[in-house]
Structure 1
Amino acid sequence: MIKNFLNWIKAINIKDIYSFRNQVPIKEVNYAGIDDISKKEDYRIAISQNGKFIVTFDTANLRIKILENKDHRPFTSSKKEVNSNDNNKYCGLDNLDELDDIGQTITYFKINNDFMIEKFYKEEYKPSLCKVDSSDSDIINASDFEWSIDISNMQEINDGESFILIAISHINVNMDMRRTENKKIDNKKHDYKKENLNKIRFKCSSLSEKYELKDEGNKPDEACDIAINMKPRPTNKISEIKKGIAIYRFDLKKNQNGKESYDFNTVTCHYSNQISGICRFIDDSSKDDSKSLNDSRIKRFIILNFRGIYNFEFDDHFDSFNLNEKFEYPTNIRRELDIWYTDNCMKRLLSCIYDKYFFVPQYKNDVLLLKVYDLAKMELETTIKKSKNKNYFTLNSNDNAFSFSRLQLCFTRGNNTIRLYYIKNGLEVALKSFKEIERIYLLEFIENDEKLLIIGKGPKKEGLIFAIWDLYNTGKVELIEIDDFPTIIIENFGTHLARASGNILHIGNNGKVSSVLKKIEKELKMKKENEKKVDKEKMDKVANSIIKLLGKKPDGKPDESHNIHYNEKHMNFKPIVSEKEPWMLGDYDRHSYCLYYHNQKGAEVETLQLIVGRSTVQIWHQIQDSSRNKDELPNNGEPFLEYIWTNRIPINQEREETKLRIKDFKYGSNVGLHEKLDDFHLKVYWYERKDNKENSKRKSMQKKKSMK
């Protein structure tokens, strides 16, 4: 018996033992049927660094959904460049009337308290809303635990494989997000153990048909039964969820059927209950490489908590994740956490993170230092130094708002003043205050980094104010107010709002994902249409009130060659010039229009007159004031030329047939930059004679032909 056992031991191959130890457990999970929500939904949203993919997470019912952003606005090197994905490109203002729900489901699944996938749902599955209140036994103190979620860009491997990674962390606030027992962090001691995360693979049964992202004609199939090849677990309760992290790798395959769609049948989960914190995938895209503007590889996966930044090493196929290194926070952040944050510091850490940057404002001796760290390289990127008065530093650090473009950094302390800096050298390039905004909540570069979106609160109104600052073309600021935009978003910017690379998304209490920029553009389009309508009504009203009279000659007789036009509000207008083309020897047609006339209490009279002559358009200006000396008035109170335009017709062609002819003249409203000056639209045309030499040449050619 013993001899047979020893022979069996010898027969075992050492390689087989190693393979057994590294074998990944596989669980088969099928698609679920009817599965109603048992608790009131509590959603979170995250967006990939390039803005193309979205993940939503119902933390109450542990349901996760991966979506493709149908309103994706990729960064392009030129305005004419079009996204290669024709089915998923930003379509501009002409397609704003499409559905507001911009998320197209790729996969939808539910996890249990141990981060294990429990069931999948069909892509079009929509659970019924919760109709019962959560019992007290299912709820724990909200301050004890927090959630963090993130999603990576699509990772394409050389051998044709593609992956999307989702990271979730259930954060124990008392253990990982606050200082306990008045103990400070000792950076010299390791508070973590280098180890690989646990791994399990879930294989989902394939559906009978493929669900294409852009094929909305498919009808939902009949519900199928749940079939899960794993041991039964107790009923989910939030209070039972442990702290920890989980990274889900979805193996995707893009269908080659002419439509943008993805299939997957395997999900690998890496998990651990030893650590929790804010989870982030850090991409290392080159800002100077146009090919990598929207596609980049994951450089790091990190967890941030009270103690520091934990780095996880992984292989090219994301088959393993190993906690291998810890990075310390900058000195001033470490000091701030140790002294001030006996409670949750999650909001403070989130206020420092954007894209791949860790942003640290530091105040010392009335000097503002803005330090920017690159999380991909784990090194200082740039330092901006700015002197400021003491009042500038009284606001809470959590009120900071900032955003990064490929060249610039914009920053505000939460008030109504924004500063722009070059990232490369730290130079300040712009400073602007917005009197219409009392407090700024969010900044984001949009439209190829050419404009800046500002979300803030007005000084009087309770709702949000959206402002779009054109940074390069005009410097103009457009203000938009959206009545139906939820103001409660102010309280949960970090959970219900996601932004990246000029894409800003919002998730509602019903789990619906919408584009903030799309809402703004719709409102802006309606605003412009209303303004055009109002302007047209004003122009029509002004046009109907235009009065036309004949001018007068020096002897007081009517001048039939001089037509005078003005509207009813300028009844006392009198032309200040009559003939201003001295090269014209005879009589010729002129048309004068009153652009502005103001008589202030009978003393100061200011007049602007436009006159169209034989070959020029001129604007004349006169200011008269009987209470002042002529020396104090422009041009001694006489008319002076403000503007002249000529058609540059040759003098040898100057005659009645080639005169300027008015095709259209319209008065407009006086709303805008020049409130006292009426807007106007003037369109003129004229005829020109052909060169006499060319005519004589043609005649001689005709003579020669006739002689032959």
Structure 2
Amino acid sequence: MSYKEETPTILTTSVSEVYQKSDLIGGIFIPLEKSNNNLPKILSQKKPEEIPLDILTSKKSNWHISISPDGENVLIFDHEKLEFKIIPEKIINDSYEKESYDVRSVFKNEESKKDYPKWTIAISNSITNTLNEKEVLVAISRVTKSDTTSPGKKNLNNENLTSTNSNEFEEKEPEPVEIVTTDTTANEGNTVIYKIKLNQKSKPERICSDLPGGIVIFVHNDKKNYIYCLIFNVKGIFRKKFTHDLSGKRMKQFYYPKRLQDDLNTLYKRKSCITRLFNSIFDHYFFIEQYKGGTQVLQLYDLRTMEMKQFFNLHVRKSHVRKSLRKFGTPIFARSNDEKIIAFSFGFGKLFLFLVENGLEIASEDFGKGVKILFCDFINNDKTIIVIVQKSESECQILYWNLFSTSNHVKSGRKVNFVTDEENISSIARIPGKLITVDTYGNISSVFDRLINNCDPEEEGKEIHSIVIHNDNSKLVESPRKMSCSKSKNEHTIYSLYSQNKTKPLVSKEPWVIDVYDRTSVFLDKEETTQLFIGRSTIQVWRKIAGNKKVELEYIWANNVKANREETCALKVDELYIGDRSFYIK
């Protein structure tokens, strides 16, 4: 059973506002004006399509791809021809002829030796200048072995490393990088930033070439009207700031949090750290797993401020995680479109949901011990999470985790060939709600729409079981099936779907209320393991753990009324509909 609060609850104590009708569908609060007022149905699954969808990238490809943070423009780069193109995202699936921009005046064609050099690219959102022309920034980074492998701790000043308890990246003085052109013998990588006027036949203007090589991204700080170009490599994070007119300021360099910096110094002396860093970056967030006081936590940093946004307790044993990561692979991260919820997985078994505001885990879904989790993202206005999983060595499967549903909440989609290469990170581009790939021949595919094209489940039209409360019976089409009802001595009304309740219900789940007041409980399943509790100021769902006498809280919604106003501003239920492990309340 899964739940998600879609909008803020009522924050005032006005009786009229508290009594304003709102919908709670399947345990999710939705304002009345946003509700389609359709009663919930018991949903069935579509039959998955038989032909698997291909999402393929090539390790041998000379093509690299990136997408702007707002999703409007796509950048592709051919490192053999040393040319790049900028294509509007809305036409990438059409045939296109766009002007190529030549960068051979800065970079030279060179053969790859032992997987080096590597290339990463990035494109910013467009900016309208004073002449009403649209401009973008394009960054091309040539990454060498010195950018991805560590010389070891002996060459570092450990006294300057970020402390374990720091809530921000520690700034340090950057080392100068003076590289204008490259050749096959150069040991240091570098990043060059260009300014391009869109829809005009003009050469790209090189505005910065003193940055080191690494994973490059653009982050927009709309509050301060800044654009940041960030470069991640084994030495730290390098940040170049641009103002609204795209003029550059001085570069700053930041250390990683100490535990990550120690890992980079000790574990990546021979192998590349580029995949480790790449898997820690998504959108304007940087996230890492740490161990704090024996507890594993996920730390989330905001790259717009270079400060820690939140940390989340993962409640997983350290030995179990390390063993599973060696077996399976890389962590998975996604954020909701409203940025209130994040999804995280170690890359196997479970997917966790956390509230960004307070760091609390609000839901999790276990897909099985032997299951890899390769990808996830929020879709359908944050009501559904699309997940790509792989069992053993079999082909991958698309699953849809419906956060609204309490019945059949995980639906199977089509099969998919999801083949990516960890070392070729720039052959796939992703932002929230978009996934774009480029193949060996430079063909671009926007695959996200094809991933979600059957996420809406079919309806069998099976009616809900019962209408427990309905204050306007004249609007009912037919009489509902009655539920058996009992009443306890302390003003607690208890409904059961199938029989006079056999299970002792939870009675006092609002311990802050000391007087006697009206409460309603409904068992939502035949086994009476799931109980809906409607109190004075909260709506709760409790589930009994199989093989255990304990119960756990699955969901809670509160009206946020102050304690001294709860009695006068108590919840008033106009309608309550019950289905099998599902409910609708107004």
Please give the TM-score of this superposition, normalised by the length of structure 1: 0.50
Gap change, CA 1:401 and 1:263, over 3 Å in 2 = same
* Alignment equivalent of 1:177, drawn from 119, 138, 148: 148
Alignment of 1:357-506 (within 5 A): 357-364=285-292, 366-389=294-317, 390-396=319-325, 399-405=330-336, 406-435=339-368, 438-459=371-392, 461=394, 463-472=395-404, 476-482=409-415, 485=417, 487-489=418-420, 491=422, 494-506=425-437
- 2:437 aligned with 1:515, yes or no? no
- 2:209 aligned with 1:278, yes or no? no
Task: Return the letter of the residue paired with 2:255.
Answer: E
CA contact (8 A) 1:436 1:458 kept: no
Task: Return the letter of the residue paired with 1:470.
Answer: N
* Alignment equivalent of 1:340, drawn from 254, 258, 267: 267
CA contact (8 A) 1:359 1:371 kept: yes
SS at match of 1:70: helix
CA distance in 2, matches of 1:376, 1:456: 32
CA contact (8 A) 1:367 1:385 kept: yes
Q: CA deviation at 1:56?
A: 1.3
Larger radius of gyration: 1
CA distance in 2, matches of 1:437, 1:516: 26
CA contact (8 A) 1:155 1:297 kept: no
Which structure ranks higher in relative contact order (CA pairs < 8 Å, sequence separation ≥ 6)?
A: 2
Task: Return the letter of the residue paired with 1:446.
Answer: I
CA contact (8 A) 1:166 1:248 kept: yes
- The answer for the alignment partner of 1:244 in structure 2 is 190
Deviations 1:170-210 (A, max 9, x none): 0111x222112663422678774568997xxxxxxxxxxxx
- The answer for the alignment partner of 1:309 in structure 2 is 237
Task: Return the letter of the residue paired with 1:396.
Answer: L
Q: CA deviation at 1:334?
A: 0.8
SS at match of 2:204: strand
Q: CA deviation at 1:399?
A: 1.2
CA contact (8 A) 1:373 1:380 kept: yes
CA contact (8 A) 1:444 1:502 kept: yes
Q: Greater CA deviation, 398-407 or 452-461?
A: 452-461
CA distance in 1, matches of 2:177, 2:292: 40
CA distance in 1, matches of 2:373, 2:136: 34
Once the two structures are aligned, what percentage of the paired residues are identical? 22
Task: Return the letter of the residue paired with 1:305.
Answer: N
Alignment of 1:491-640 (within 5 A): 491=422, 494-522=425-453
Deviations 1:250-298 (A, max 9, x none): 123xxxxxxxxx3343421134366211111111247xxxxxxxxx954
- The answer for the alignment partner of 1:154 in structure 2 is 126
Deviations 1:140-176 (A, max 9, x none): 3243321111111112245523211110100111x22
CA contact (8 A) 1:194 1:323 kept: no
Deviations 1:645-678 (A, max 9, x none): xxxxxxxxxxxxxxxxxxxxxxxxxxxx99xxxx
Gap change, CA 1:52 and 1:102, over 3 Å in 2 = farther
Q: Which runs of 5+ in 1 are unaligned?
A: 1-39, 72-99, 117-136, 199-232, 253-261, 287-295, 537-614, 622-632, 636-672, 675-708
Gap change, CA 1:473 and 1:162, over 3 Å in 2 = farther
SS at match of 1:66: strand
Task: Return the letter of the residue paired with 1:471.
Answer: L
Alignment of 1:14-93 (within 5 A): 41-70=61-90
CA contact (8 A) 1:407 1:424 kept: yes
- The answer for the alignment partner of 1:112 in structure 2 is 104
* Alignment equivalent of 1:164, drawn from 124, 132, 136: 136
Q: CA deviation at 1:521?
A: 4.0
CA distance in 2, matches of 1:504, 1:182: 38
Alignment of 1:250-265 (within 5 A): 250-252=196-198, 262-265=199-202
Q: CA deviation at 1:52?
A: 1.6
CA distance in 2, matches of 1:169, 1:106: 22
CA distance in 1, matches of 2:241, 2:452: 42
Q: Greater CA deviation, 411-420 or 512-521?
A: 512-521
CA distance in 2, matches of 1:620, 1:318: 68
Q: Which runs of 5+ in 2 are unaligned?
A: 1-59, 161-171, 462-476, 484-497, 501-578, 581-586
CA distance in 2, matches of 1:515, 1:474: 32
Q: Greater CA deviation, 414-423 or 242-251?
A: 242-251
- The answer for the alignment partner of 1:326 in structure 2 is 253
Deviations 1:332-380 (A, max 9, x none): 1111111211121111111111111110111256411111111111111
Q: CA deviation at 1:439?
A: 0.4
CA distance in 1, matches of 2:143, 2:238: 14
Deviations 1:42-78 (A, max 9, x none): 222111112221111222332312111117xxxxxxx
CA contact (8 A) 2:101 2:204 kept: no
Q: CA deviation at 1:493?
A: 7.2
- The answer for the alignment partner of 2:473 in structure 1 is none
CA distance in 2, matches of 1:108, 1:241: 28
CA contact (8 A) 2:231 2:239 kept: yes
CA distance in 2, matches of 1:242, 1:416: 40
Gap change, CA 1:67 and 1:241, over 3 Å in 2 = farther
CA distance in 2, matches of 1:55, 1:61: 15
Gap change, CA 1:375 and 1:145, over 3 Å in 2 = same
Please give the TM-score of this superposition, normalised by the length of structure 2: 0.59
Task: Return the letter of the residue paired with 1:313.
Answer: K
Gap change, CA 1:164 and 1:391, over 3 Å in 2 = same
CA contact (8 A) 1:166 1:247 kept: yes
Q: Counting helix residues as a fraction of each chain, which structure ranks higher?
A: 1
CA contact (8 A) 1:41 1:59 kept: no
Q: CA deviation at 1:427?
A: 1.1
CA contact (8 A) 1:56 1:64 kept: yes
